[in-house]
Structure 1
Amino acid sequence: MTTRYAALLRGINVGGHKKVPMAQLREVLGELGHGDIATYLQSGNAVFSSDSDDEQALATALERAIERRFGFGVDCLVRGGPYLKAVADACPFPAASLEAKQLHVTYFSEPVAPERLAPIDAAAFLPEEFRLGDRALYLYAPDGLGRSKLAEALAKPRLFKGITATTRNWNTVVKLVELTRD
């Protein structure tokens, strides 16, 4: 059975570092045998179809292919359309009434125990808020991610040591759901 997936690449095409042209990313995915390939924006979002049901194997294969093609490593997460829809549907914030720049989802490579976030004094960052979901963290930042003190605190490497994490704004979250519908 063929499944629609999104590949979420971490930290590419930011400030001139780790440049991965989207046309070449589509080529790499095609060389891996995937079909129905498309990219969204320049920030490392690709969708494709595969007969595999192993997200981790798909991500590992893509990471290796990117390193071979471009000469540098890039962390990748691969998530199926149903998962992406479930994450969007489970949003604990009123997404429909917020600007896309105010709401973000950080996708994780594995579940995150709430204890990892214990060092964060959530009340100190209000009105900014976060909630954990299924291998995801929802962040409400009323002034946007660039001005968010909570996002800065959540970005501390020690909080998510050993876990791959990559963040997308709400517009991208919704678009990836749309692009991965069967």
Structure 2
Amino acid sequence: MDTLVMAVPTVEDGAAAWHIARDSRVLDVNSPYSYLLWFRDFARTSVMALQSGDRPVGFVTGFCRPEQPETLVVWQIAVDPGHCGRGTAGAMLDHLTARLTADGALRHLETTISADNAASRRLFRSFAQRHAAPLEKDLLFPAELFPGTHEAEFLYRIGPLL
């Protein structure tokens, strides 16, 4: 049976992350350059899931808020379509937050989710339950702030994490 290995991403993982994001058909896909830059500058607050230790099958990109350095903002989380429904997303979040909590660098997790993204809502509610942490939900960016058509984004704030 294939095992998943959670790893700190490197710039060499950038192209794979871009492909996973594109193939998700759900995420706003950033430029390929942004994934390279992200894994250069924010690798510590991100994670790659590797099947059998070498094939990327998922990623989380995150950063610590400059004004609240103990708050991890999850920017994107994506899983290869062939690995959806296997708990990969939850395992990546658990791994990343455990790593940052062990370093003493994490108390809260934040992400934004649009109203139509039921899978992300379930993922983050489940995370909060597993970690026995409160979850708050508030409107962060109303739809009218976005150019073109984009749904409102709701802020999910989980914590404090112990």
Fold shared per TM-score above 0.5: no
Compare CA radii of gyration and give the structure with the larger one: 1
- The structure in which a higher percent of residues are strand is 2
Looking at both structures, which has the greater relative contact order when contacts are Cα pairs under 8 Å and sequence separation is at least 6? 1
